[in-house]
Chain A
């Protein structure tokens, strides 16, 4: 693997444009846009404040830079570098800012989640949506960008509003049967909305596009419930990961559980292949550890690691989380389906995996941890 030179960035703001041509990074209050292939700086913009959030628009023509402290959002254009746009939320503050799927509207969530302001870049019109819910995932757009679902909370009850993204027309507004809605997600075919409750209650509800409740599923009561949810790309399956370290798969016809996967600490399934990372560090005698040595000899710190297949039954190291803390680090925290619907990757427990992503062909998986990056290639015959 070849690496380019190191570029500075702040706040982990480094994003590739959706069309793959440009790379945008934020360094404090500067926005740097580079050409992706040559990594030459194409544009350089200066914002009024250190940028907290940066996002490309869906057509790769605009970049949004949000500065939460000052309640400002600045939008930059790639086609016309001297075009500028500044949105000031005023005294009401800014908590989050995002693009709409058509790339022409910006949704700002004000402080204390008082409202969501929809700014239009085409018409300068403003729309307000009151009382959005502050939860894990309160807003979701459909894959084709036509509809937006927003969770609201009024008078101690949860509501869901469905908007048409064309003109922000409220299509449907219905009450959700959750106690405390934690998240919602559209299915990839845009017809079903999965709504789940927070971890105190295991409940996942399925609403159709027009607001009818299709089905509700609850695996058990009282123990901590759903931690993560993922749709399969074909909308046929819904994977629900919970705090009891199990993943349950629901099918789209009956919305009943078809299978559940466990994550035992000891892997004894004979069909499973367990890869274990084996690190080889060069052994250094303590008397050799002088500054000179350290600076000159880089190989001292290069650890080679390789993966070898361990014999079954394999013991997976488990760290028991502190049960007295809220949101304990047990359970399925990440789920990802591969693009061809064949594999499901799950992360259980307190492993230091920050994210897992599939390649769009479904043949490989990237795991990111704090210090490592791991690529897993799947062979066609293997199961997960």
Chain B
């Protein structure tokens, strides 16, 4: 019906059901107060509900309350009477029935609650029990698991034992077999020997029988035509005690000599070995001692010093040792000292090894970067070099190929042409130069010859003039016409005297006289030979070797025309010489 009226106040939370509180919130009309009291007495409601009861139902909202209660009752599923309101009054019977049903309901609910509680208690205890048993079972499981592993272990060991026992059994079987085979072979050998002996025995018996039967006993004898001399040529000797002693003596002598040789060889071997040991010791000492600067750590130093000091002692000892070579003490000393040194060396080496490894580890970390960088740089450099070399090689290969194998005719011919062309060019160049020089040379030669010819002519003219002049002079000066001056003889060429340029003027008279004498030669007018020409021109060195000349005056042909003095001629000749 209409509105579900929820009571605004819910004061007591201890009340179980909302309905109950809502029911208790029924505010009764005053007309029902006595009913309310009775109700209140039958129902054990807390006192606080009083105020609540009063809140639900009032005079005004009776019908709503009734409607509400009907609804609630329906919802609760009670078939109970629905409260009817007859004009504002409520019959008590349905209410009481309703109340009773509600009470029943309440009772049932309580019972159910009680049951539930007991059930819960039971469940709780069950749970506890189960938990306990769970724990127990877990423990048991753990325990059994441990037992299981233990048993497994035991089983494994037993398996192992079985295996070893099987192997042992196999080996034993093999050994048994081997022994059996040995026994069988020995047995065959014994049988064989026994048979042999038996055969011999029977033969003996037969022979014995035969001998007993046979009366004729053939004596053993020797027939010899004549005695033979002993092989060593000596006379036979009687057997006497002295002989026996001699034999004994010889035997012992033989034995002794053998022992002596053996001892000698052993002694030699011994001394050699001792020497080797000594050397080894010395080497070990030297190895241990002079490496002080190389060692880095402290303890090594100490040991070294120790070793050195002991080594020195040892070296002092060794000299003594060599004297007492055969003495046992010396021998022991030597071996002991060697052992000591060897142990020291070994420990030293071990220390060095560990040090080296440590140092290597340390250095590796510190220098890693550095070394790597350097390393990389080096690698780079090397790679570059390699590349270059490769390229170079490649190039060379190509060239070689080109050179060695003419790929095809044309290119080969072309190449050849190229080379020859180059050479031709060069040759041409050289020819050109050569021709030029030749031409120059020719030119000069021509000039030279012309000059020489001219010179010859002029000389001739000059000579004639001079001769004439001299003649006139002579005729004028001296009465002697035919006398020749002996001082002025031999191969003075006309020009040679005139090499002293200072004596230009002074030389003229002797020159004139010389030329006078040389005129008979010049009288026969013939062309001088080249050699003479050259000689006169001082192109070929004379025996006199006239080297002085006054060069410097580049005179021309016109100079020649000035034939007052020879020197100008000479200077001309010299100048002619110079460019050539």
Q: Give per-residue flags for A212-256: 1 if the beta carbon is below 8 A from chain B beta carbons, else 0.
A: 000000000011100000000000000000000000000011000
Given contacts A102-B231, A190-B254, A323-B185, whether A171 and B225 have CB atoms under 8 Å apart is no
Q: Is residue A175 contacting chain B, with contact meaning CB distance below 8 A? A: no
Query: Which of B181, B230, B239 gathers most chain A CB within 10 Å?
Result: B230
Given contacts A104-B230, A191-B258, A209-B254, whether A90 and B221 have CB atoms under 8 Å apart is yes
Identify which of A112, A124, A147, A209 contacts B203 (C-beta below 8 A): A112
Interface 9-residue window, one of B36-44, B136-144, B212-220: B212-220
Cβ contacts under 8 Å, B225 to chain A = 82-85
Residues B198-239 near A (CB distance < 8 A): 200, 203-204, 207, 211, 214, 217-232, 236-237, 239
Taking a contact as CB atoms under 8 Å apart, the answer to whether A208 and B189 are in contact is: no
Taking a contact as CB atoms under 8 Å apart, the answer to whether A90 and B181 are in contact is: no
Taking a contact as CB atoms under 8 Å apart, the answer to whether B258 and A123 are in contact is: no
Identify which of A93, A166, A167, A210 contacts B255 (C-beta below 8 A): A210
Q: Is residue B244 contacting chain A, with contact meaning CB distance below 8 A? A: yes
Taking a contact as CB atoms under 8 Å apart, the answer to whether A199 and B217 are in contact is: no
CA distance A146 to B331 in the complex (A): 41
Q: Is residue A277 contacting chain B, with contact meaning CB distance below 8 A? A: no
Taking a contact as CB atoms under 8 Å apart, the answer to whether B224 and A209 are in contact is: no
Q: Is residue A364 contacting chain B, with contact meaning CB distance below 8 A? A: no
Cβ contacts under 8 Å, A252 to chain B = 262
User: From B234, which residue of chain A is reached at the shortest CB distance?
Assistant: A166
Taking a contact as CB atoms under 8 Å apart, the answer to whether A222 and B182 are in contact is: yes
Q: How far is the CB of A223 from chain B (nearest CB, A)?
A: 5
Cβ contacts under 8 Å, A102 to chain B = 230-232
Cβ contacts under 8 Å, A166 to chain B = 247
Q: Is residue A264 contacting chain B, with contact meaning CB distance below 8 A? A: no
Taking a contact as CB atoms under 8 Å apart, the answer to whether B218 and A223 are in contact is: no
CA distance A242 to B362 in the complex (A): 62
Taking a contact as CB atoms under 8 Å apart, the answer to whether A104 and B185 are in contact is: no
Interface 9-residue window, one of A33-41, A114-122, A293-301, A335-343: A114-122
Interface 9-residue window, one of A5-13, A324-332, A346-354, A368-376: A324-332
Given contacts A117-B220, A222-B182, A326-B191, whether A169 and B244 have CB atoms under 8 Å apart is yes
Cβ contacts under 8 Å, A87 to chain B = 220-223
Q: Is residue B474 contacting chain A, with contact meaning CB distance below 8 A? A: no
Q: Is residue B186 contacting chain A, with contact meaning CB distance below 8 A? A: yes
Q: Is residue A383 contacting chain B, with contact meaning CB distance below 8 A? A: no
How many residues on A have C-beta within 8 angstroms of the other chain's C-beta atoms?
A: 54
Taking a contact as CB atoms under 8 Å apart, the answer to whether B189 and A326 are in contact is: yes
User: From B229, which residue of chain A is reached at the shortest CB distance?
Assistant: A122
Given contacts A104-B228, A167-B239, A169-B244, whether A88 and B188 have CB atoms under 8 Å apart is no
Q: Is residue B163 contacting chain A, with contact meaning CB distance below 8 A? A: no
Q: How far is the CB of A316 from chain B (nearest CB, A)?
A: 23
CA distance A103 to B228 in the complex (A): 10
Cβ contacts under 8 Å, B191 to chain A = 326
Cβ contacts under 8 Å, A59 to chain B = 231
Residues A181-220 near B (CB distance < 8 A): 189-191, 199-200, 208-210
Taking a contact as CB atoms under 8 Å apart, the answer to whether B266 and A253 are in contact is: yes
Cβ contacts under 8 Å, A146 to chain B = 250, 254
Q: Is residue A303 contacting chain B, with contact meaning CB distance below 8 A? A: no
User: From A89, which residue of chain B is reached at the shortest CB distance?
Assistant: B220
Taking a contact as CB atoms under 8 Å apart, the answer to whether A200 and B189 are in contact is: yes
Cβ contacts under 8 Å, A122 to chain B = 227-230, 236
CA distance A90 to B228 in the complex (A): 23
Taking a contact as CB atoms under 8 Å apart, the answer to whether B258 and A325 are in contact is: no
Q: Is residue B243 contacting chain A, with contact meaning CB distance below 8 A? A: yes
CA distance A327 to B190 in the complex (A): 11
Q: Is residue B434 contacting chain A, with contact meaning CB distance below 8 A? A: no
Cβ contacts under 8 Å, B222 to chain A = 85-88, 119, 124, 126
Taking a contact as CB atoms under 8 Å apart, the answer to whether B231 and A88 are in contact is: no
How many residues on B have C-beta within 8 angstroms of the other chain's C-beta atoms?
A: 49
Taking a contact as CB atoms under 8 Å apart, the answer to whether B247 and A164 are in contact is: yes
Q: How far is the CB of B558 from chain A (nearest CB, A)?
A: 104
Q: How far is the CB of B214 from chain A (nearest CB, A)?
A: 7
Q: Is residue B251 contacting chain A, with contact meaning CB distance below 8 A? A: yes
Taking a contact as CB atoms under 8 Å apart, the answer to whether A328 and B185 are in contact is: yes
Residues B166-191 near A (CB distance < 8 A): 179, 181-182, 184-186, 188-191
Q: Is residue A44 contacting chain B, with contact meaning CB distance below 8 A? A: no
Q: How far is the CB of B188 from chain A (nearest CB, A)?
A: 5
Taking a contact as CB atoms under 8 Å apart, the answer to whether B192 and A327 are in contact is: yes
Taking a contact as CB atoms under 8 Å apart, the answer to whether B218 and A222 are in contact is: no
Taking a contact as CB atoms under 8 Å apart, the answer to whether A88 and B218 are in contact is: yes
CA distance A172 to B324 in the complex (A): 41
CA distance A141 to B411 in the complex (A): 97
Q: Is residue A49 contacting chain B, with contact meaning CB distance below 8 A? A: no
Q: Is residue B248 contacting chain A, with contact meaning CB distance below 8 A? A: yes
Q: Is residue B392 contacting chain A, with contact meaning CB distance below 8 A? A: no
CA distance A327 to B191 in the complex (A): 11
Q: Is residue B252 contacting chain A, with contact meaning CB distance below 8 A? A: yes
User: From B238, which residue of chain A is reached at the shortest CB distance?
Assistant: A167
Q: Is residue A2 contacting chain B, with contact meaning CB distance below 8 A? A: no
User: From B269, which residue of chain A is reached at the shortest CB distance?
Assistant: A253
Given contacts A122-B230, A167-B239, whether A85 and B224 have CB atoms under 8 Å apart is yes
Q: Is residue A91 contacting chain B, with contact meaning CB distance below 8 A? A: yes
CA distance A224 to B244 in the complex (A): 42
Taking a contact as CB atoms under 8 Å apart, the answer to whether A171 and B258 are in contact is: no
Residues B258-307 near A (CB distance < 8 A): 258, 262, 266
Q: How far is the CB of A345 from chain B (nearest CB, A)?
A: 26
Taking a contact as CB atoms under 8 Å apart, the answer to whether A104 and B231 are in contact is: yes
CA distance A119 to B221 in the complex (A): 10
Given contacts A88-B220, A209-B254, whether A167 and B237 have CB atoms under 8 Å apart is yes
Taking a contact as CB atoms under 8 Å apart, the answer to whether A121 and B227 are in contact is: yes
Taking a contact as CB atoms under 8 Å apart, the answer to whether A92 and B236 are in contact is: no
Q: Is residue A140 contacting chain B, with contact meaning CB distance below 8 A? A: no
Given contacts A167-B239, A171-B251, A209-B255, whether A86 and B231 have CB atoms under 8 Å apart is no
Q: How far is the CB of A116 from chain B (nearest CB, A)?
A: 13
Taking a contact as CB atoms under 8 Å apart, the answer to whether B254 and A167 are in contact is: no
Residues A64-95 near B (CB distance < 8 A): 77, 82-93
Taking a contact as CB atoms under 8 Å apart, the answer to whether B251 and A209 are in contact is: yes
Residues B105-143 near A (CB distance < 8 A): none
CA distance A200 to B200 in the complex (A): 21
Taking a contact as CB atoms under 8 Å apart, the answer to whether B188 and A123 are in contact is: no
User: From B252, which residue of chain A is reached at the shortest CB distance?
Assistant: A210
Q: Is residue A111 contacting chain B, with contact meaning CB distance below 8 A? A: yes
CA distance A92 to B225 in the complex (A): 24
User: From B211, which residue of chain A is reached at the shortest CB distance?
Assistant: A91
Identify which of A117, A167, A189 contacts B243 (C-beta below 8 A): A167
Q: How far is the CB of A168 from chain B (nearest CB, A)?
A: 9
User: From A144, which residue of chain B is reached at the shortest CB distance?
Assistant: B254
CA distance A82 to B181 in the complex (A): 61
Taking a contact as CB atoms under 8 Å apart, the answer to whether B231 and A90 are in contact is: no
CA distance A328 to B237 in the complex (A): 49
Given contacts A89-B220, A169-B243, A210-B251, whether A224 and B228 have CB atoms under 8 Å apart is no
User: From A73, which residue of chain B is reached at the shortest CB distance?
Assistant: B222
Taking a contact as CB atoms under 8 Å apart, the answer to whether A208 and B255 are in contact is: yes
Cβ contacts under 8 Å, A190 to chain B = 254, 258
CA distance A91 to B244 in the complex (A): 34
| A-B contacts besides A89-B220, A104-B230, A119-B222, 20 pairs, CB < 8 Å | A59-B231, A77-B228, A82-B225, A85-B223, A85-B224, A87-B222, A88-B220, A88-B223, A90-B217, A91-B211, A104-B231, A124-B227, A126-B222, A169-B243, A190-B258, A199-B189, A210-B252, A252-B262, A253-B262, A328-B185
Q: Return 15 A-B CB contacts under 8 Å, by A number.
A: A85-B223, A87-B220, A90-B217, A90-B218, A90-B220, A102-B231, A104-B231, A112-B204, A121-B227, A124-B224, A146-B250, A171-B248, A191-B255, A191-B258, A252-B262
Where the two chains meet, the residues of B that have a C-beta atom closer than 8 Å to any C-beta of A are 179, 181-182, 184-186, 188-193, 200, 203-204, 207, 211, 214, 217-232, 236-237, 239, 243-244, 247-248, 250-252, 254-255, 258, 262, 266
The 8 closest A-B pairs by CB, nearest first: A326-B192, A90-B220, A191-B258, A90-B218, A85-B224, A121-B228, A102-B231, A86-B223
